[in-house]
Amino acid sequence: MREFQEKLHRDTNIVRGAEYFEPLTGALAAPIYQSASFRHPGLGESTGFDYSRVCNPTRSIVEKTLALLEHGKYALAFATGMGAISAMVKIFMPGDHIIISDDLYGGTYRLFHDYYARYGFLFSFVDTSDFSKIEAAARPETKAIFIETPSNPMMKVSDIQRCAEFIHKRGGVLVSDNTFCTPYFQNPLDLGADFVIHSGTKYLAGHNDTLSGFIVHSNETHREKLLDIQKSEGAALSPFDAFLTLRGLKTLALRMEKHQANAAQVAQWLRAQRHVEKVFYTGLSDHPQYALSKKQARGHNGMISFYFKDEADVAKLLKNVKLILFAESLGGVESLVTYPLVQTHSAIPEAIRLSTGVNERLVRLSIGIENPDDLIADLAQAMGA
């Protein structure tokens, strides 16, 4: 089946997933196997399913689908993106050093800095879009590079292939958080990354109605260990949330095209506004890593950040938006506006935050799939443009 599917187009695999119907009943939609446990036919016999923390049929379908879409052999589904990242770190040992993007999801920073660092894992937070910073941070005990590309919220792009070649020469692995691009636009494993991370909560599920997280890989060395971590930690994805993620995923290709088209219009409009100082969007041709984006990704997402000239405009915008919702998260069909300083990035110390550019004038937009004219009109009235 997988061999057949690998020859199909990306948008076909997105809508159809890894399993086209359930063999038992022929059901087209993935059945929600809401069972904690599974009966054994006899001693030493199993249906392949024993206990849902370890393995569940609905979860298996979404795992196979993510493996197919990200061109990996294996995928593991977790309750959240943070659950996936937390499991990922556990393949390393105290004393191992990891180079990690300094501009990244605030929760990832908090997990590494406030928790894993306490257990003796070593981290260097550097601007991974600047390759010389990676070289300078590498040590003999460096075991991994962890990148988010494009990064959150500054939209910096790191060179996946170059990072992979560099860390492989040193015997380490590259972990790439592909939440922003999704497999529709970018496949880090094809560029040499060893592990892909997803917050399925965002574009993959896409409807702001569930949370999920994934690790996708083809790494035989860590395969058993990762399964054991998933089983032992107990943060595996529930059957219902696996269903919702699969349900949302079907329209990913359509949604990403619309997110991209809408965001391109909004970014162009924002750039021309007198209250706006600077716009960060990977689809703008003067984005510092525009050429690299074109090389390693097939498109851009719906994520835009921008600086107001005046801090006072932030509160005004957040209070006055009517259609765009002032809420955390991203990647859903609804457009959201976030203030990274106090929301997604509040866990990051001021010095690091300011050095990466997350200041009091920065606003982040997750552009949804509404009509772009309505989104622009809403921004215009809220900004007093």
Annotated catalytic residues are: 53, 105, 177, 202
Nearer to ligand PLP (CB atom), residue 113 or residue 316: 113
Query: In the complex, what is the shortest distance from the CB of residue 301 to ligand PLP, in angstroms, rounded to a whole number?
Result: 11
Nearer to ligand PLP (CB atom), residue 226 or residue 276: 226
Q: Is residue 245 within the footprint of ligand PLP (CB under 6 A)?
A: no
In the bound state, the residue with its beta carbon closest to ligand PLP is 81
Give the E-state strand segments of 40-109 in sequence order. 74-78, 97-101
Instruction: List the x/- string, 307-346, binding to ligand PLP by CB under 6 A.
Output: ----------------------------------------
Q: Which one, of 213, 178, 201, 182, lies nearest residue 336 by Cα? A: 201
Q: Is residue 146 within the footprint of ligand PLP (CB under 6 A)?
A: no
In sequence order, what DSSP letters do the residues of 97-151 get, joined into one string?
EEEEESSS-HHHHHIIIIIGGGGT-EEEEE-TTSHHHHHHH--TTEEEEEEESS-
* DSSP state for residue 13 in the 8-state scheme: H
Task: Please state, in angstroms and rounded to a whole number, the distance separating the CA atoms of residues 189 and 196.
Answer: 7
Task: Please state, in angstroms and rounded to a whole number, the distance separating the CA atoms of residues 110 and 112.
Answer: 6
Say how many residues touch ligand PLP, by CB under 6 A. Answer: 15
Residues from 72 through 111 that contact ligand PLP (CB under 6 A): 80-82, 105, 107-108
Nearer to ligand PLP (CB atom), residue 49 or residue 121: 121
Query: In the complex, what is the shortest distance from the CB of residue 302 to ligand PLP, in angstroms, rounded to a whole number?
Result: 13
**Cα three-residue angle 202-76-181, rounded to 5 degrees:** 35
Residue 256 neighbours by CB under 8 Å, 6+ apart: 182, 184, 185, 203, 299, 301
Q: Is residue 202 within the footprint of ligand PLP (CB under 6 A)?
A: yes
Nearer to ligand PLP (CB atom), residue 299 or residue 331: 331
Query: In the complex, what is the shortest distance from the CB of residue 93 to ligand PLP, in angstroms, rounded to a whole number?
Result: 23
Query: Which alpha helices (H) appear in 307-346, and where do they start and end?
Result: 312-320
Single out the residue of 63, 177, 241, 378 in contact with ligand PLP (rule: CB under 6 A): 177
* DSSP state for residue 77 in the 8-state scheme: E
Nearer to ligand PLP (CB atom), residue 49 or residue 83: 83
In sequence order, what DSSP letters do the residues of 292-316 get, joined into one string?
HHHHH-S---SEEEEEESSTHHHHH
Single out the residue of 213, 299, 340, 357 in contact with ligand PLP (rule: CB under 6 A): 213
Residues lying near ligand PLP in the complex (CB under 6 A): 80-82, 105, 107-108, 148, 152, 177, 179, 199, 201-202, 211, 213
